[in-house]
């Protein structure tokens, strides 16, 4: 089998050192209230992620929702005029792309405009912020996807958002299941293919789940993906969305939409519930024979891995923006310490739980893994949150 040659980074700035924690900084009620972000049902990761969004908003002069607007008590929602101006996106170009996708969305697509435009913590704007630059630059997209899936992707032709090959179609799942992103690609063998992606940010994988349909039982047997199609764990809150979307991807191959497909999941490394769900789901899958190209494989990656791939591909500005907004939990640690500790302590070095992103000569050329030591694909392995019923 022909394999793509990994794209090497060209001449660029010296590599920079980024730190990542081994666990999410704990945010107490007092710290959350100090930042006007207290929500009693937030998971540990979502609570820290909410403060990270508030810090990003304050740094960029983005006003949060007023008292008469939705989400004002959480601090992580944009004021209406800021939302309308596109301040939830990393660039005007990505904002315009999101608006175009809203106008040309597929029939019955589940795009929540409020979450997309005003909710900084939602994974919906994250999808556009992370994949929008790739949709606008297929050369960049090709470099990124060839790093993530070198044996499956030779080039990227285009990306589409909130996509389903057959929404409410009985030949598929007869529901509204859809993917956050679908990247139309050419494989190293010259075949057309699609990489279907599900992206998580702060989701705690606690549900709610989709109403169970008879068609799901039929599809579970039909797609031949699972060790035990009757397994109760596939129907549980952490896994059932992954199951539905993986089946949808397999059915897209079986129905001739595309000859090849891959299903991937992406979530922050520190969102333990999401990454655990990916691993558990992967353990439910049958092994795929190397010579069977009709089976849709599942892989999962950390959000840090995706950001690092964008960095290595040459778009350091986008990588820096994404890192600072979504993954730099050093900022949450510093902000929390400044609230609960004397000033002298808040100026002390970070604890041993902060791991160096790289070691050695800082003048080395940038390479994969430079942003965080653990920003690598996890073992091959959920699914909605209170603020997000999908994606």
10 pLDDT higher than 60: no
Of 75, 85, 62, 72, nearest to 31 by C-alpha is: 75
- Please report, for the chain, how many H helices and E strands are present, in that order: 14, 7
Cβ contacts of 238 within 8 Å, gap of 6 or more: 205, 206, 273, 276, 277, 280, 281, 382, 383
Q: pLDDT digit string (tens) for 201-215?
A: 999 888 788 889 999
- Lowest-pLDDT range of 111-115, 243-247, 349-353: 349-353
For range 315-332, the mean pLDDT: 96
pLDDT tier for residue 21 given thresholds of 50, 70 and 90: confident
98 is written with which tokens? 């999101």
Of 326, 103, 268, 238, nearest to 111 by C-alpha is: 103
Q: How far apart are CA 210 and CA 355, in angstroms?
A: 39
Q: pLDDT digit string (tens) for 25-72?
A: 999 999 999 998 888 889 999 999 999 999 999 999 999 988 878 787
pLDDT tier for residue 139 given thresholds of 50, 70 and 90: very high
pLDDT tier for residue 183 given thresholds of 50, 70 and 90: very high
Mean predicted lDDT score pLDDT of the chain: 85
347 pLDDT higher than 80: no
315 vs 384, more confident:
315
Scan for tokens 């070198």, then name that residue: 150
Q: pLDDT digit string (tens) for 141-168?
A: 999 999 999 999 999 999 999 999 988 8
126 vs 365, more confident:
126
Using CB atoms within 10 Å of the CB of residue 170, give its burial: 0 to 12 exposed, 13 to 18 middle, 19+ buried: exposed
Q: What is residue 60's predicted lDDT score, i.e. its pLDDT? A: 96
Enter the pTM of the model.
0.85
Q: What is residue 184's predicted lDDT score, i.e. its pLDDT? A: 98
Q: pLDDT digit string (tens) for 24-38?
A: 999 999 999 999 888
């Amino acid at each position: 089998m022909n394999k793509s040659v990994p794209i090497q980074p060209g001449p660029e700035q010296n590599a920079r050192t980024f730190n990542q924690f081994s666990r999410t900084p704990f945010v107490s009620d007092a710290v959350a209230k100090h930042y006007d972000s207290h929500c009693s049902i937030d998971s540990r990761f979502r609570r820290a992620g909410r403060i990270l969004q508030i810090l990003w908003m304050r740094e960029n002069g983005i006003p949060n929702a007023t008292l008469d607007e939705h989400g004002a008590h959480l601090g992580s929602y944009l004021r209406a005029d800021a939302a309308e101006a596109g301040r939830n996106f990393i660039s005007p170009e990505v904002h315009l792309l999101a608006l175009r996708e809203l106008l040309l969305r597929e029939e019955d697509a589940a795009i929540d405009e409020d979450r997309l435009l005003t909710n900084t913590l939602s994974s919906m704007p994250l999808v556009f912020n992370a994949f929008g630059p790739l949709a606008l630059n297929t050369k960049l997209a090709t470099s990124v996807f060839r790093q993530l899936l070198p044996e499956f992707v030779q080039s990227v032709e285009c990306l589409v958002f909130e996509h389903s090959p057959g929404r409410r179609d009985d030949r598929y799942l007869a529901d509204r299941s859809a993917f956050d992103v679908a990247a139309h690609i050419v494989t190293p063998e010259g075949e057309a293919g699609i990489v279907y992606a599900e992206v998580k940010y702060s989701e705690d994988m606690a549900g709610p789940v989709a109403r169970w349909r008879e068609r799901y039982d039929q599809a579970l047997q039909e797609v031949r993906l699972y060790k035990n199609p009757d397994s109760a764990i596939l129907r549980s809150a952490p896994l059932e969305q992954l199951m539905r979307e993986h089946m949808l991807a397999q059915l897209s191959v079986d129905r001739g939409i595309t000859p090849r497909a891959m299903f991937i999941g992406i979530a922050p490394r520190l969102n333990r519930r999401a990454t655990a769900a990916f691993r558990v789901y992967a353990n439910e899958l049958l092994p795929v024979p190397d010579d069977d190209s009709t089976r849709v494989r599942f892989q999962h990656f950390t959000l840090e891995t995706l950001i690092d791939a964008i960095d290595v591909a040459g778009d350091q500005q986008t990588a820096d923006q994404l890192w600072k907004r979504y993954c730099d939990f050093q900022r949450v640690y510093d902000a929390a310490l400044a609230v609960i500790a004397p000033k002298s302590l808040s100026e002390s070095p970070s604890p041993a739980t902060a791991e160096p992103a790289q070691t050695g000569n800082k003048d080395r050329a940038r390479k994969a893994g430079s942003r965080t030591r653990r920003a690598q694909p996890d073992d091959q392995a959920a699914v909605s949150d209170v603020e997000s019923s999908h994606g």
